[in-house]
Structure 1
Amino acid sequence: MRRISRRYHYITLVVLCIVYCTFFIAISYAASFNVPEKFIYDLTWTGIKAGTASLELINDRNKIKIISTAKSARWVSVFYTVDDRAESTLIKNENNPPESPHSPLWKRGAEGDFKGGKGGFSGESLSIGKPVNYRLKIREGRHRKDKEVIFDLSNSKATYINHLENEKKEFDVPAFVFDPISSFYYLRTLRLVVGESVYVTIFDSKKVWNVEVQVLRREKVTLPIGTFDTIVIKPLMKSEGIFYRKGDIYIWLTDDIKHIPVKLQTKVAVGHITATLIQGNY
């Protein structure tokens, strides 16, 4: 059960995501996201409800906050409580940012359709927010974690703080780097082409990782809240963050400009864990 619960944590971060994807968050919300935006997910283990997860995007003056939570169901909490919270804070960038060195962004065509290209949104470039703070608090059974990263991207620095062990250390990072939570929103702005991969740089677990996200296929999925045309992606991550290194995670995004994460799934020692969107404001 401990192994299952740990994997449960990682998939919730993608959804929070939670766990469990890695990039700068693009803040062209008029084109891609609504603010506020909130998703609520059922987490099931081989068809049995094991908990809930949420992912929320809110405005805070000149900042954007992304808040993700994951909690175990009552029956799970009897023997293994999960109560996790992750928060990423970004500063809005009012100027046109440089493009990601990794992947093309979307372009809006003359008729409002979206086409792939390397120049971002035609007529309206994406405005990308810079991560300034990332905080992760984990309570899983007896396991506790409280870590924080303070980004100073103007000087290409990141300060890692472990609040439980009184550890503090500064690291060099690229100017274009992401925390695990904001990375997922950047992913949602990218042009995803079946058969191709996109790449992103993330700082997590006191290391800088270059993450590949494979774009696998298109698929129609039916959920309790409706039927969606989706595009299925598979992130390949080696850190302990949103893309856990020991198990494949599959994410179903709506096949449109919003790329709403409607479903996530990962295998565990016995069965699989699935996160399913049950309601949201988007």
Structure 2
Amino acid sequence: MQKQCIRITCRQFIVVFLMGALFFSTSLSNAGENILPFSIGEEIQYSVSWEMIRAGKAKFKVLPFTTLNGNKAYHFLLEVTSNNYIDMLYKIRDKLEGFTDIEFTQSLLYKKTQSGKDKREVMVQFDWEKKTARYSNFGGKRDPIQIPLKTFDPVSAFYKMRVIDFKTDQNLFFPVTDGKKYFMQEGKVLGRAKITLPSGTFDTYLLVPRVNHLSGVFKKSKNPTVKLWVTADDRKIPVRIKVKVFIGSIIFDLVSIK
């Protein structure tokens, strides 16, 4: 049973971590390149715990600008690694990449390399003339799906969240796609909260997304919840994300920022 729970949680909660950040990517006016709260070279690292067990780490990076179809683009990277204990049950060495236009208005490309038993080489290509996203895995393509303008992939949405001016009791929503489906994610800002972690004490906004549309362990759980604590400053960095489902709580805590 423990092995089954570990296998369920490891990757599902990587996705949850992103989804928690995602729902705050509500549509905004175009963000100018000089006023964004992140810069090339930024690196944010999180520890991942299941109940009292350390499970691994997650690391976000802002990589140097790249070029896609002749256009300059942002390049974001998320690396997720399980620790030695979890490796014995379900080894994870995953790499997720998001690419957006230089105006930072919408995604251009999304990639996911997944290791272990469930290997994947995913690519999601965005066609903004047709307003579609097309998912492929190891070259096998699905039919394109329709998406609205200003839709972000899971990794890029983590950064889009950080340009929002949160207000207490503000209801938020946004379009998101992983290439297989598109939906409007909703959530709410509950208010301000102080939180103390090994990495420091932070003044934050407490944010709660709606999760009843999610599958897997969420569908099996009674009253599942996701809570995020995001710094109440210009950088808007999530310092803790807590997911509660029937198999327990998974917590992502900020370790360091470079």
Deviates more, 1:202-211 or 1:220-229: 202-211
After TM superposition, give the deviation of residue 262 of structure 1 in Å: 0.9
Amino acid at match of 1:87: E
| Structure 2 spans left out of the alignment, 5+ residues | 67-71
Q: 1:118: which partner in 2?
A: none
| Counterpart Cα distance in 2 of 1:239 and 1:86 | 20
Question: Please, what is the CA RMSD of the aligned residues?
Answer: 2.6
The TM-score, its normalising length taken from structure 1, stands at: 0.76
- CA spacing shift, 1:179–1:2, aligned 2, 3 Å: same
Q: 1:271: which partner in 2?
A: 248
- CA spacing shift, 1:57–1:240, aligned 2, 3 Å: farther
Deviations 1:171-208 (A, max 9, x none): 22212211112122222211222222111011235222
Q: Does 1:89 align with 2:99?
A: yes
- CA spacing shift, 1:70–1:20, aligned 2, 3 Å: farther
CA contact (8 A) 1:158 1:170 kept: yes
Find 2:13's aligned residue among 7, 11, 14.
11
Q: Secondary structure at the match of 1:75?
A: helix
Q: 1:235: which partner in 2?
A: 209
| Counterpart Cα distance in 1 of 2:81 and 2:205 | 27
Q: 1:154: which partner in 2?
A: 129
| Counterpart Cα distance in 2 of 1:229 and 1:32 | 17
Q: Secondary structure at the match of 1:259?
A: coil
Deviations 1:117-145 (A, max 9, x none): xxxxxxxxxxx3431111122235x2333
CA contact (8 A) 2:134 2:141 kept: no
The TM-score, its normalising length taken from structure 2, stands at: 0.83
Amino acid at match of 1:148: M
CA contact (8 A) 1:10 1:20 kept: no
Deviates more, 1:249-258 or 1:172-181: 172-181
| Structure 1 spans left out of the alignment, 5+ residues | 94-127
Greater relative contact order structure (CA < 8 Å, 6+ sep): 1
Task: State the percentage of identical aligned residues.
Answer: 24
| Counterpart Cα distance in 2 of 1:32 and 1:54 | 17
Find 1:197's aligned residue among 171, 180, 203.
171
- CA spacing shift, 1:187–1:75, aligned 2, 3 Å: same
CA contact (8 A) 1:13 1:20 kept: no
Q: 1:51: which partner in 2?
A: 56
Deviations 1:56-97 (A, max 9, x none): 11232422111101111101111211222211011202xxxx
| Counterpart Cα distance in 1 of 2:215 and 2:179 | 7
- Matches of residues 100-249 of structure 1 in structure 2 within 5 Å? 128-139=104-115, 142-163=117-138, 166-204=140-178, 206-237=180-211, 238=213, 247-249=224-226
